[in-house]
Amino acid sequence: MNLFSYQLLTTLAMPFIAYSGWKRCRKHQKQQLQNPDLPEIPDCFRSRFGFNRQNYQTDGIWIHAVSVGETRSIFPLLSALKKQYPNLPLTVTNGSTQGALQALQFSPVAIQHQMLPYDYPFAIKRFLHQIKPKLVIMVETEIWPNLYQACKKQNIPVILINARLKESSFKAYQKWGGKLIANALNQTQFISAQFATDAEHFKALGAEESKIKTLGNLKFDLNIAEDLSDRAHNWKQQNQLLERPIWVAASTHAHPIHSENKASEEQLILDAHQELLKSQPNALLILVPRHADRFQPVADLLSENSLIWQQRSQSNEVKTDTQVYLADSVGELMLWFSVADIAFIGGSLVPFGGHNILEPAALNKPVLSGPNYQNLAALFEPFVNQEGVKIVDNSHELAQTLEQLITHKSQANKLANQGYKCFAQQTGAVDRTLQALKPYLEPYLEPHLES
């Protein structure tokens, strides 16, 4: 495919793209009416076409992250950039409303924000004129040919950081991308790959070898709140949970194949918990669906089961007989990991492809995952090889493993320690990334900061 064909196809698809974007923004508006604590996403739909009523500071750094995980991964980088280059405004864009909520609610520093303009030349041109960035940083697998081309024409350097290509994306780009993807990749100043496998994938897609660096995964450089442990202990104490075994099932999904015969991951989790309760009747499950729009369907599922359950949005007080606590809140995942004795990471008992296991590993918690972690195979590999994560094949094996770890503390501690050791060996990506960005940002240092 070439650029002309890409532009023709995306133009023809504009009504469908626009409708999809409008639906997502409309859904957020409805959620905001139900939950006034959710922030507004300014010009959520209009901004996808470059129309925005905000008055932006210009001549700064534009950083784009798609959704929740990518957005959280850039928080340490945002803090470091603000510290080193305080005179440069930071603009963050997102491709999903969930990512936008993360940025707007939890960014560690002041940012300008809007949704990413769709990859149409007129929309990109309008947004670039609004913010006039000195540098554009794209996170993970964000390859937008018109955006890259526009930046090239305006001499705005583009850098792809924390770059990764899961196997399915790599094969799709190989099949359909052709010169279009190769040209876009070579319009970047450099590509910072997470792992050697990712670097090889970008090279195979046509990126010049000289442009590819392997700097590690930003997600390993977590900012853990100093009071997190105290808050977790206080929450458990207030709810009389200090003596109860607690496990968290985080980032759970519906089954990606929509069928009455395909159980959701939450149902598989509940099956495991019911089995666990036979030997550990006092066990508490904290259930955290991946996406906020699934909070209500999961609540409906819990109502259909025989388990005693509560939801976070209704009460922060856990009753003594509660067996499942539905954490239908945003931004509290690290608290639930800190509270729990064992963490299971979802998207892995159903064929979704897995999710990030780093946060519970960083908190020295035993980490469990299902077998479907193919989207993060490079991240999982060292953990699997060093026995820093336990892979369970089904809900029955999950229940058995939970019972084993609860009963035998030494096994739980060994798994947790191996996971933490593996995590600690791979930190430092933020510093390496900052060093690689330095040549593009040094000219904009304030005089008194130069040394």
Active-site annotation, residues: 70
Q: 200 CB contacts (<8 Å, ≥6 apart)?
A: none
Q: What is the DSSP letter of 293?
A: G
DSSP string of 66-97, one letter each residue: -SHHHHHHTHHHHHHHHHH-TTS-EEEEESSH
Decide if 141 contacts 168 (C-beta within 8 A): no
- Orientation angle between helical segments 395-407 and 409-424, nearest 10 degrees: 100
**Is the alpha carbon torsion for 42, 45, 47, 52 positive or negative?**
negative
**How far, in Å, CA of 298 to CA of 256, rounded?**
15
Which strands form 190-193's sheet, in the order they lie side by side?
A: 112-115, 90-94, 61-65, 135-139, 158-163, 190-193, 212-214
**How far, in Å, CA of 451 to CA of 449, rounded?**
6
**What is the CB neighbour count within 10 angstroms for residue 433?**
25
Nearest residue to 244 (alpha-carbon basis) of 340, 368, 315: 340
Is residue 246 classed as helix, strand or coil in its secondary structure?
strand
Helices and strands in the chain: count of H runs, count of E runs:
19, 14
> Which token pair is 24?
């997502």
Nearest residue to 31 (alpha-carbon basis) of 96, 93, 97: 97
Q: 365 CB contacts (<8 Å, ≥6 apart)?
A: 337, 340, 341, 342, 343, 416, 419
Residue 104 sits at the vertex; the CA angle it makes with 102 and 110, to the nearest 5 degrees, is 125
> Which token pair is 405?
């770890």
**How far, in Å, CA of 196 to CA of 125, rounded?**
34
